[in-house]
Amino acid sequence: MESEVRGYIRSFPAIFERAKGAMLVDEQGNEFVDFFAGAGTLNYGHNNDRVSKALVEYIQNDGVVHGLDMATSAKKRFLQTLYDVVLSPRNYEYKVQFTGPTGTNTVESALKLARMIKGRSNVVAFTNAFHGLTMGSLAITGNNFYRDEAHISRSNVSFMPYDGYFGPDVNTLDYFRKFLEDGSSGLDLPSAVIVETIQAEGGINVASDEWLQGLEQICREFDILLIIDEIQVGNGRSGEFFSFERSGITPDMVTLSKSIGGGLPLALLLMRPELDQWKPGEHTGTFRGNNLAFVASVETLAYWENNDLSDAIHYKSGILKEELEALAVKYPDLNASVRGRGLIYGFEIPEIGIAKEVSRIAFEKGLIIELSGASDQVVKFLPPLTIDEETLRKGIGIIDETIGEILETKQERLSEEF
Amino acid sequence: MESEVRGYIRSFPAIFERAKGAMLVDEQGNEFVDFFAGAGTLNYGHNNDRVSKALVEYIQNDGVVHGLDMATSAKKRFLQTLYDVVLSPRNYEYKVQFTGPTGTNTVESALKLARMIKGRSNVVAFTNAFHGLTMGSLAITGNNFYRDEAHISRSNVSFMPYDGYFGPDVNTLDYFRKFLEDGSSGLDLPSAVIVETIQAEGGINVASDEWLQGLEQICREFDILLIIDEIQVGNGRSGEFFSFERSGITPDMVTLSKSIGGGLPLALLLMRPELDQWKPGEHTGTFRGNNLAFVASVETLAYWENNDLSDAIHYKSGILKEELEALAVKYPDLNASVRGRGLIYGFEIPEIGIAKEVSRIAFEKGLIIELSGASDQVVKFLPPLTIDEETLRKGIGIIDETIGEILETKQERLSEEF
Amino acid sequence: MESEVRGYIRSFPAIFERAKGAMLVDEQGNEFVDFFAGAGTLNYGHNNDRVSKALVEYIQNDGVVHGLDMATSAKKRFLQTLYDVVLSPRNYEYKVQFTGPTGTNTVESALKLARMIKGRSNVVAFTNAFHGLTMGSLAITGNNFYRDEAHISRSNVSFMPYDGYFGPDVNTLDYFRKFLEDGSSGLDLPSAVIVETIQAEGGINVASDEWLQGLEQICREFDILLIIDEIQVGNGRSGEFFSFERSGITPDMVTLSKSIGGGLPLALLLMRPELDQWKPGEHTGTFRGNNLAFVASVETLAYWENNDLSDAIHYKSGILKEELEALAVKYPDLNASVRGRGLIYGFEIPEIGIAKEVSRIAFEKGLIIELSGASDQVVKFLPPLTIDEETLRKGIGIIDETIGEILETKQERLSEEF
Amino acid sequence: MESEVRGYIRSFPAIFERAKGAMLVDEQGNEFVDFFAGAGTLNYGHNNDRVSKALVEYIQNDGVVHGLDMATSAKKRFLQTLYDVVLSPRNYEYKVQFTGPTGTNTVESALKLARMIKGRSNVVAFTNAFHGLTMGSLAITGNNFYRDEAHISRSNVSFMPYDGYFGPDVNTLDYFRKFLEDGSSGLDLPSAVIVETIQAEGGINVASDEWLQGLEQICREFDILLIIDEIQVGNGRSGEFFSFERSGITPDMVTLSKSIGGGLPLALLLMRPELDQWKPGEHTGTFRGNNLAFVASVETLAYWENNDLSDAIHYKSGILKEELEALAVKYPDLNASVRGRGLIYGFEIPEIGIAKEVSRIAFEKGLIIELSGASDQVVKFLPPLTIDEETLRKGIGIIDETIGEILETKQERLSEEF
């Protein structure tokens, strides 16, 4: 009955029934390690105990579940917690807009607001960017798989090369700056630049702190708003709550979704107070105030009251990096390279098709792991942040075993041919 | 801390803590009758007992809460129930696409698919239409409050007059047909027509069955896809599950959201099987498979296993219509008119500002009721479908009392002026 | 060697060598009466004696032939003559912009200026409008023959019904007004309305004076600029110099081309002085100041120093109308209708193909006459304004004879079939 | 009376009355050397004797002056001459389309045809490109002076860096290729690339033969049409008839205007025969067949019957280059650089404003010379190709004198300040 548009279900052909932490269980009772984490939605694991307990309590007390954008006690607690635990300690004074509860909704809101404020329709996005698939977000998403002549308006977006796009020796910001400074370059002054600090769907491309600082500098010079899309790599994925924290930049707007709702649908836009130029009701949506997500989020934001989680991420990040680099060395025929930060890592295998094979066979062995990059050539490690060391190592072990088998089979095939 | 974009919170200035059925309770313990129903999301009432029970059980059993579009037991049960209870008895063979869990996401998916299939970029929408606020949906939404030079691409949409737009004597389909038949009219042949059978945000404008049949006929003749937007008036709001059932038309696509998730975020697109031309993964989104919504929905769809709910809606619809028409007669100075069907009714008060006053004062008296129409001139009655007769009458009574007071005050002011 | 895009050459398969007044002569010495007049470019006839003499003199004196937009003596004389003979006697204070020397260039300039002044991107055009085929003009041209998915941006134009579009009993301005007054109609407030008083390519549709006055009234009320496209029906075609004169309206901008250059390429935009908000050099083009056209135009504008030409047009218009109506009566099987004003008349033959046959056979008999309308169903009478009565009657006689033959042949074919 | 949009008239404040060869004479009898040549329209000089004689004869014989796209003897002769003298000797088999008689019209036609053939809406243009100002052409013109939020549709164009844009060490085609090869770059596969071999308005930027060859190679690889815009630098300006001849590439389409009409308005599109997919009449325009321009062109094309003109251009090119480079050395404080080919040369003076001063004062001394580049920082040498050596040297002498004076005055001002 379901549409052919299904994607993940094809890669991971099982019917899942239960889940806990970093483990999923299908209807036959088979267990799977989850290195996918709902593409960044399950940073705190499946059915986190604190979350489950709070949800049950809330429902049993007949808490308001759906309330559009009306004020509820749950929303009040969420805003207070976000301020106390995340914004205030980092000296951010952002205002919060609840958009429709998906990433693409908050991106659309950010673009709409930026264009309205600056009165300029152009926006700059980067090569290999992924920001969502509604019409406004799609226009700034690079992958041509999603773009079709008939349904996409290509207007009002200019793509610039991301950090490292022309190799390590070219500073791509020089290109961008040249286009901006030259009044005849054909680049219309954009209202905003939107960028991911780590391109997750684009192949785990990591922008350096210097590049981000340079980008912020350009935005200030040319009066352009800087929007950081934190949908996939915010919420602690990079090691800190916001992935841009360590670079020291202060975006004008930040889009948040995925894990910000504690695993439930929620999306929000942070914006500097002077940018909050919306008229009441100008951007609406039915599910903006998902109260169950507020309840869940309050529980998961609690992880940021101290440095324990952050420290644990850095510790496990070290393991992940070390182990993946060891794999690259162990299997030199793959010509694999390792990229990432925190608990998002890419293991790129240039030969097209191999990475896909890795994901497929690893699933048979009990590991759920996704691909990314323009040709699905990057195996994408995205475990829950709360994963324990043992399960992490177990998952990596499955990858090791899988690659070994694939190369062996390949070897045999080659031998047979002679 | 929250953005100025907030809307409803301004009309209904209270912090709500608990809710049940058609009642909301604020932090001070004040009770409010809910004639708003989450703009159509709470057709089965707040914290419906069956839903709450099922959710608690699911969470306590560590059911998969978030799974992108992977298969889960909850999704399987939902699809089966939708088929058994809704589609099969009505002889519909639609396939189901889970889009991002908001109405605007499903509208964007429908437009994208239609343009892709037909290879034509134009789409026809109607005056006073409301289909959402992401860029693709905004382009087909008529209200200029949401449209701004800088952020909207006005492309590829033509607006045609809705049923009754030029008064009862003009068949607006004749206009549409003339534009289609004339190769020099400037109207590019659209890939699709998208229409609401009852325009909820547009002021409770009800399309007649004949008009809908004529529209379907035009679509068939000119090879145009017919998309019915059921987001606000589907899910039983009109008396039947789908609002278009009684007209006998068979849309090519149907957008569903709001109450389809049993009060939790969910949206889906129904499409005729031959239109399911998506490539795997071509339209994605993080929260497509909201498993808690699947669990909730299975419980609320159960209401459609027999005719009890439908009969109850028709019964209460009669009361609502009768009482509102009585109010229009009782207060002739208002020049009010009554429009609607099922449990969605509009009470239009032409003098700008009065309707707003009604909503404001009614809230003080314990009733939550929204406005609609281009100038907020229509009081919009949208109680839960499960409301009991007593509460329904109580809410209408508050309106009666409110109007009385407003007119009295006005009278006094006028007297004073002389 | 020439592209397949050729059009007229196919309808009129001869190689023309010489021309004078209303007559063309081909290389074999065959003579043709010209009821086409260069689609309105030869209002004063081929090789008008005064024009030829002035051109020869200018060239022999080494007058500046090409000078971009630099000042020349020829340009000075042209502007002075335009003022003395056309603008001043009619109390118009327009400023003059020389655009590229084609109609579509002046239309593009008008749209660009209007959007810039009002800061609104939308423009309203009318059903069956024809304004040219560069991208900006094409967007406001109704005929779908010229419009293709891949090359046209459909954006920022709304089509409204022209006078009489829904028959004589419907005032189409009511339709337009309703869309403007309703803030949720989906019509974005346009910067300008552009309209032809008589749609020449669209099938010789004549707007009534009342309709034009009503349109001007709407433009004033809603702060919309009114652009009259006089490219084909200006320059005396309607009987007065400007076709809108007799309705008493004062357009904000007027586009002129075709005969304004005395038969040579020239186009200009008239605009109210306060609308002249161009920055120097903001809209340029190589052939803006076609000095030979200035020289030619000075000679032909002289026709407007007194009323002789105007009187003669009205006299010949009477003959043309009378004779065409007599033909419609004489051949009732055609169900023909006659429309027009001045020396632009349409003879509509509803049965598709017959009008084409008329044009083809008339050419064999020595008459050049074009078609118009969405299905080429209208024979379009457009003789030079300076045609003598005898030649006019001769041309009409050829049409009479042609129709007679066509109907006879048809009759014979029908008889044979039985 | 004339619009504020006037440009050149401000730089050259005189009323010109007569002209001959490379000289203009104003109403007071003052003579000016013309290093502007109608921006490339007067390659064969003002009032070329052969042209004047032929025009007078044609007019006196009542030759057809205006005939839309009908066949005339003049058109036949023109096509035959173009074939015999230009196309055939160079082995080009292009078909010819007569568009409206301005450069921007032929560019619009080329874009429309390319998009229609390939069914892709995107087009690639280059930084600092200038292709005209109607809406389609403006979209591919880089200079933001002409681009305004309200009137321009920015859609369906991607700008790539022109040869040398990032300095001599960066091959900008690598940049373009990377965007094309990467399916996630955000660059939609274009239907066509449009490029000038020498950017005239953009500051006399000269693409190397290798770069053009590389560009053609990319177009072939990725199935993209290659359009060369020869409007300003074709017609012998570069030394050969077509500026791209010497690089050995074969464009799919070539746009020609300016001098192709022998000084009168004419524009045409050359296209490979298999690309001539127009339907009859699909792209029209009133002044497509400007017969006087055909007559004039036949005379000027005669210059290409042998190599005399080409040899003369190369000889004078040598003088111009040498003298300009000598000036750059003579006035080292200017930091001037010299760029160009054939008889189009740029003398770039980086300090903003100086070039403008040079043009202004040179005019007072009897030389008409224009500027180009994004900041008008390039003095643009564009004399008629037929200029005699003495007049050429005289014009350069005026520039020498002018610069000397400007620097002296500057020196004095500086001294005074101390």
Contacts of D265 in chain C (CB under 8 A): 101, 265, 287, 290
Q: Do B95 and A59 touch (CB under 8 A)?
A: no
What is the pLDDT at residue B72?
93
Beta strands in C257-351 (DSSP E): 268-271, 337-341, 344-348
CB-nearest to C278 from D3, D17, D52 is: D3
Q: Mean pLDDT, consecutive 10-residue segments, chain A of 418 residues?
A: 78 90 95 94 96 97 86 94 97 94 92 91 92 82 73 75 95 96 92 96 96 98 98 97 97 97 95 93 79 97 97 98 98 97 98 96 96 94 98 98 95 82
C133 and chain B: CB distance < 8 Å anywhere?
no
**Nearest partner of A340 among A321, A354, A323, A359, judged by Cα:** A321
The whole-angstrom distance between B414's CA and the closest CA on chain A is 32
Q: How far apart are CA B402 and CA B361, in angstroms?
A: 6
Q: How far apart are CA D11 and CA D8, in angstroms?
A: 5
Nearest CA in chain C to D5: C280
Stretch among A392-396, B286-290, D200-204 having the lowest mean pLDDT: B286-290
What is the pLDDT at residue B152?
56
The whole-angstrom distance between A145's CA and the closest CA on chain D is 8
User: What are phi and psi for residue A8, nearest 5 degrees?
Assistant: -60, -35
The predicted-structure confidence for C221-268, as pLDDT tens digits, reads as follows 999 999 999 999 999 999 999 999 999 999 999 999 999 999 999 999
**Nearest partner of A107 among C393, B378, D365, B134, judged by Cα:** B134
Which chains form contacts with chain C, at 3 or more CB pairs under 8 Å?
A, B, D
A150 and chain C: CB distance < 8 Å anywhere?
yes
Kind of pairing, strands D344-348 and D337-341? Answer: antiparallel
**Nearest partner of B130 among A104, D150, C125, A281, judged by Cα:** A281
What is the pLDDT at residue D6?
76
Q: How far apart are CA C357 and CA C407, in angstroms?
A: 11
B329 and chain D: CB distance < 8 Å anywhere?
no
**What is the pLDDT confidence band of residue C154, given thresholds at 50, 70 and 90?**
low
Q: Do A95 and B2 touch (CB under 8 A)?
A: yes
Contacts of C155 in chain A (CB under 8 A): 155
Which residues are C66's β-sheet partners?
C290
- % of chain D at pLDDT higher than 70: 98
> Which two tokens mark D339?
């760029």
Q: Do B102 and A100 touch (CB under 8 A)?
A: yes
The number of C-alpha atoms within 13 Å of C301 and in the hemisphere containing its C-beta is 20
SS3 for C314? helix
> Which two tokens mark C296?
């030619």
The predicted-structure confidence for B324-360, as pLDDT tens digits, reads as follows 999 999 999 999 999 999 999 999 999 999 999 999 9
D112 and chain C: CB distance < 8 Å anywhere?
yes
User: What are phi and psi for residue C307, nearest 5 degrees?
Assistant: -90, 5
Q: How far apart are CA A289 and CA C214, in angstroms?
A: 49
The C-alpha angle with vertex A285 and arms to A279 and A290, in degrees rounded to 5, equals 115
Which chains form contacts with chain B, at 3 or more CB pairs under 8 Å?
A, C, D
B 347-366: CB under 8 A from C? none
Runs of H (alpha helix) within D365-388: none
C382 and chain D: CB distance < 8 Å anywhere?
no
Is pLDDT of B287 > 60?
yes
Which residues are C97's β-sheet partners?
C269
Contact C169, C175 (CB under 8 A): no
Q: How many residues are given for chain D?
A: 418
Contacts of B13 in chain A (CB under 8 A): 71
Which chains form contacts with chain A, at 3 or more CB pairs under 8 Å?
B, C, D
DSSP B127-168: TT----SSHHHHTT---GGG--TTT---TTEEEEPPTTTT-T
C 270-309: CB under 8 A from D? 271, 276-287, 290, 292
The whole-angstrom distance between C95's CA and the closest CA on chain D is 5
Nearest CA in chain B to C145: B183
Is pLDDT of D314 > 80?
yes
Q: In what order do the strands lie in the sheet with B31-34?
A: B16-20, B23-26, B31-34, B367-368
> What is the average per-residue pLDDT within D36-59?
95
Q: How far is residue B162 CA from its own chain's centroid?
A: 16
Is pLDDT of C283 > 90?
no
Which amino acid is it at C156?
N
Contacts of D61 in chain C (CB under 8 A): 18
Q: In what order do the strands lie in the sheet with D16-20?
A: D16-20, D23-26, D31-34, D367-368
Contacts of A150 in chain C (CB under 8 A): 149
Q: To the nearest 10°, the Cα dihedral for B245, B250, B256, B259?
A: 10
Helix (H) or strand (E) holding A226: strand A225-229
Q: How far apart are CA B162 and CA B142, in angstroms?
A: 11
Q: How far apart are CA B212 and CA B251, in angstroms?
A: 10
- Cβ count near B269 (within 10 Å): 28
Contacts of B158 in chain C (CB under 8 A): 158-159
Q: Do B159 and C125 touch (CB under 8 A)?
A: no
Q: How far apart are CA B114 and CA B112, in angstroms?
A: 6
SS3 for B358? helix
Which residues in chain C are classed under CATH 3.90.1150.10? Answer: 8-34+307-417
What is the pLDDT at residue C281?
79
Of A403-417, B9-23, B116-130, D222-236, the range with the highest mean pLDDT is D222-236
Match 């560590």 to its residue by tokens.
B62
Q: What is the DSSP letter of C64?
A: -
Q: Do C150 and A150 touch (CB under 8 A)?
A: no
Query: What CATH architecture applies to the domain D51-304?
Result: 3-Layer(aba) Sandwich (3.40)
The C-alpha angle with vertex A381 and arms to A378 and A385, in degrees rounded to 5, equals 155
Contact D260, D300 (CB under 8 A): no
Nearest CA in chain D to B120: D119
Q: How far apart are CA D317 and CA D320, in angstroms?
A: 5
- Is the domain defined by D8-34+307-417 classed in CATH 3.30.710.10? no
Q: How far apart are CA B347 and CA B339, in angstroms?
A: 7
b (16+ CB within 10 A) / e for D345-378: bbbbbeeeebbbbbbbbbbeeebbbbbbbbbbbb
Contact B278, A4 (CB under 8 A): yes
Residue C166 exposed, middle or buried by CB count within 10 Å (0-12, 13-18, 19+): middle
Kind of pairing, strands D225-229 and D253-256? Answer: parallel
Contacts of B143 in chain C (CB under 8 A): 183-184
The C-alpha angle with vertex D405 and arms to D399 and D406, in degrees rounded to 5, equals 90
What is the pLDDT at residue C155?
67
Contacts of C120 in chain D (CB under 8 A): 150
Q: pTM of the prediction?
A: 0.94
The whole-angstrom distance between C209's CA and the closest CA on chain B is 22
Which amino acid is it at C6?
R
Q: Do D127 and A182 touch (CB under 8 A)?
A: yes
> Which two tokens mark D399?
């520039």
**What is the pLDDT confidence band of residue D154, given thresholds at 50, 70 and 90?**
low
Q: Which residues contact C322 (CB under 8 A, 6 or more apart)?
A: none
ipTM of this model?
Answer: 0.93
> Which two tokens mark B58?
């699911």
Size of interface A-B (CB pairs under 8 A): 351
C202 and chain B: CB distance < 8 Å anywhere?
yes
Which residues in chain C are classed under CATH 3.40.640.10? Answer: 51-304
Contact B98, B115 (CB under 8 A): no
Stretch among B118-122, B192-196, D254-258 having the lowest mean pLDDT: B118-122
Q: Which of the residues B1, B3, B376 would you substitute to probe the A interface, choosing the one with the greatest number of A C-beta atoms within 10 Å?
A: B3
Q: How far apart are CA B252 and CA D415, in angstroms?
A: 83
**Nearest partner of C357 among C380, C377, C331, judged by Cα:** C377
Q: Do D156 and A155 touch (CB under 8 A)?
A: yes
What is the pLDDT at residue A155?
67
The predicted-structure confidence for D360-378, as pLDDT tens digits, reads as follows 999 999 999 999 998 999 9
What is the pLDDT at residue B302?
97
CB-nearest to B142 from C144, C147, C184 is: C184
Q: Which of the residues C133, C165, C179, C184 would you substitute to probe the B interface, choosing the one with the greatest number of B C-beta atoms within 10 Å?
A: C184
Q: To the nearest 10°, the Cα dihedral for B407, B408, B414, B417?
A: -150
What is the pLDDT at residue B403?
97
Stretch among B60-69, B100-109, D152-161 having the lowest mean pLDDT: D152-161
C149 and chain B: CB distance < 8 Å anywhere?
yes
The whole-angstrom distance between B153's CA and the closest CA on chain D is 10
State the Rg of chain C over Cα. Answer: 22
CB-nearest to D202 from A165, A184, A374 is: A184
SS3 for D205? strand
Contacts of B38 in chain A (CB under 8 A): 66-68, 286
> Which two tokens mark B67?
């799974």
Contacts of C156 in chain B (CB under 8 A): 154-155
A374 and chain B: CB distance < 8 Å anywhere?
no
Stretch among B130-134, C101-105, C382-386, D187-191 having the lowest mean pLDDT: B130-134
D150 and chain B: CB distance < 8 Å anywhere?
yes
The C-alpha angle with vertex C312 and arms to C308 and C316, in degrees rounded to 5, equals 175
Which amino acid is it at B66?
H
A416 and chain C: CB distance < 8 Å anywhere?
no
Q: How far apart are CA D396 and CA D365, in angstroms?
A: 12
DSSP D245-306: GGGT---SEEEE-GGGGTTSS--EEEE-GGG--PPTTSS--TTSSBHHHHHHHHHHHGGGGS
Is pLDDT of B249 > 80?
yes
> What is the average per-residue pLDDT within B127-146?
83
Q: What is the DSSP letter of C188?
A: P
Q: How far apart are CA B264 and CA A41, in angstroms?
A: 17
- Cβ count near B365 (within 10 Å): 15
C374 and chain D: CB distance < 8 Å anywhere?
no
SS3 for B276? coil
> What is the average per-residue pLDDT within B58-82?
92
Is pLDDT of C152 > 60?
no
> Which two tokens mark D166?
């990032």
| Residue of higher predicted confidence among B18 and B7 | B18
Query: How far is CA D56 from each of CA B53, C292, C409, D62, D260, rounded to the nearest angstrom?
Result: 98, 12, 48, 10, 19
What is the pLDDT at residue D282?
79
